[in-house]
Amino acid sequence: MADTLTITDNRTGKTYEIEIKDGTIRADALRKIKTSDDDFGLMTYDPAFMNTASCRSAITLIDGDKGILRYRGYAIEDLAEQSSYIEVAYLLLHGELPNEAQLRKWTHEITHHTFVHEFLRKSMEGFRFDAHPMGKLVSMLGALSTFYPEAKKVRDDKTRREQIVRIIAKMPTLSAWAYRHAVGRPYVYPDNELSYCGNFLNMIFRMAEPRFEPHPVLERALDILFILHADHEQNCSANAARAVGSAETDPYCSLAAASAALYGPLHGGANEAVLHMLKQIGNVANVPEFITGVKNGSGRLMGFGHRVYKNYDPRAKVIKKLAHEVFEVTGRNPLLEIALELENIALNDDYFVKRKLYPNVDFYSGMIYQAMGFPVDMFPVLFAIPRASGWLAQWQEMLQDPEQKIARPRQIYTGAELRPYVPMSERATKPAT
């Protein structure tokens, strides 16, 4: 049996044989299908890339039907249980888990690049008191590029690695300062004696105490949440990092673009929507009525369903367990009872079962962040910090792939044909809009 596809063009009666490799055909193989010599050739039309692979990638595997997520071949459940976020960032970028010496060096490098230039701290003062922390993070990432003009040398391995270390190291600092600015508290400088997550909690929560001691359970919980959010293959923001980076834009600006994508409510904002929904339900007794409303089309069960996962999101399983551990320390988030009841009813209801709607990563994460003391508008920032390592791995892989070029899709033009220019005096008068 040949690994080919035979296509007959009924416009011309000609038949073409196209190679099938990895379950795909190359879109440019269709270009030889023409009606005449000056025909451009056949294209595919795929709005939102619903059925188009835009790259070959060895970083992350998702099998949505089976509920599988792996980074570089390792099951997300194993990484969440046994690794640290810093190890996972190394894995995503290097392809292998670090040995002891590699991890020591990597941790040292990340820890010693956490400070940011004082001018950047001062530029934070230009934002209004109520500026959203995600808008500040996007701006600060772009601004960082002005401090490291050498970052433009994206094809130079050593320079590229230096910027990767800087970005992973500085994301918590920028994020924590975006928060401190919003609440009017003095900025806290990084503490090199603390872990990646311990230091982030220090920069967020420290007040007058001479030394901030992160609670070990909360520090580990944040580390696990960071592992779970580190990469998710060709999602909207990873695609933005790749597309912008394909113009050889420096990594700071490429990641500013990725963060901007994550800021959108369809991407990084669903856990906030879950909290609003749980508050609106208000009481366990109101859950059945709410579910009936969802089934009658009055709204969606937020935190349920996923474009790729048609099974329990493996990250949601880990987070559900984690929620109980965090609430042992912080006290139970009163919204948990409502969430558990929602899940229980939905998983046994035909409407949700038939449509393969299961809890996704956002169903429980918001409640944990809230219990830890983070305000809701910090949720997308908490997503962006760990996702930076995934974006950088995707960006680097794109640069090192000899098949990749500047990302430049085609279009189907639907506008006017060529027409004579209309002078102002002959244009129809319409009221100003």
**Chain positions contacting ligand ACO, by CB under 6 A:** 267, 270, 294, 300-307, 355, 357, 360-362
Closest separation in Å from C-beta 305 to ligand ACO: 2
Is 215 part of the annotated catalytic residue set? no
Active-site residue (options: 231, 250, 362, 377): 362
Q: Other C-beta atoms within 10 Å of 401: how many?
A: 14
Active-site residue (options: 229, 231, 306, 313): 306
Name the closest residue to ligand ACO (Cβ).
Answer: 305
Token digits of residue 388: 């930076």
Closest separation in Å from C-beta 76 to ligand ACO: 14
CA angle centred on 219, ends 277 and 338, rounded to 5°: 20
Closest separation in Å from C-beta 263 to ligand ACO: 13
Of 205 and 363, the one with the shorter C-beta distance to ligand ACO is: 363
Distance in angstroms (rounded) separating the CA atoms of residues 108 and 139 = 27
Distance in angstroms (rounded) separating the CA atoms of residues 69 and 80 = 11
DSSP codes, 386-417: HHHHHHHHHHHHHHH-TT-----------SPP
Distance in angstroms (rounded) separating the CA atoms of residues 83 and 81 = 6
Look up residue 24 and give its DSSP letter: B
Which own/partner pairs from 94-99 qualify as long-range (CB within 8 Å, at least 24 positions apart)?
95/58, 96/72
Active-site residue (options: 94, 117, 132, 267): 267
Which residue in the block uniquely carries the two structure tokens 């508290």?
Answer: 185
Of 270 and 372, the one with the shorter C-beta distance to ligand ACO is: 270
Closest separation in Å from C-beta 267 to ligand ACO: 6
Q: Other C-beta atoms within 10 Å of 219: how many?
A: 19
Of 32 and 355, the one with the shorter C-beta distance to ligand ACO is: 355
Of 214 and 305, the one with the shorter C-beta distance to ligand ACO is: 305
Look up residue 151 and give its DSSP letter: G
Token digits of residue 260: 């901007």
Closest separation in Å from C-beta 30 to ligand ACO: 27
Is 306 part of the annotated catalytic residue set? yes
Q: Would you say 135 and 80 are in contact if contact means Cβ atoms under 8 Å apart?
A: no
Phi and psi torsions of 68, nearest 5°:
-110, 135
Distance in angstroms (rounded) separating the CA atoms of residues 114 and 175 = 12
Closest separation in Å from C-beta 22 to ligand ACO: 24
Closest separation in Å from C-beta 238 to ligand ACO: 12
Of 67 and 303, the one with the shorter C-beta distance to ligand ACO is: 303
Contacts of 335 (CB under 8 A, 6+ apart): 275, 278, 279, 367, 370
Of 90 and 363, the one with the shorter C-beta distance to ligand ACO is: 363
Please, how many CA atoms are within 13 Å of residue 332, restricted to the half-sphere of its CB?
7
Q: Could you list the active site residues?
A: 267, 306, 362
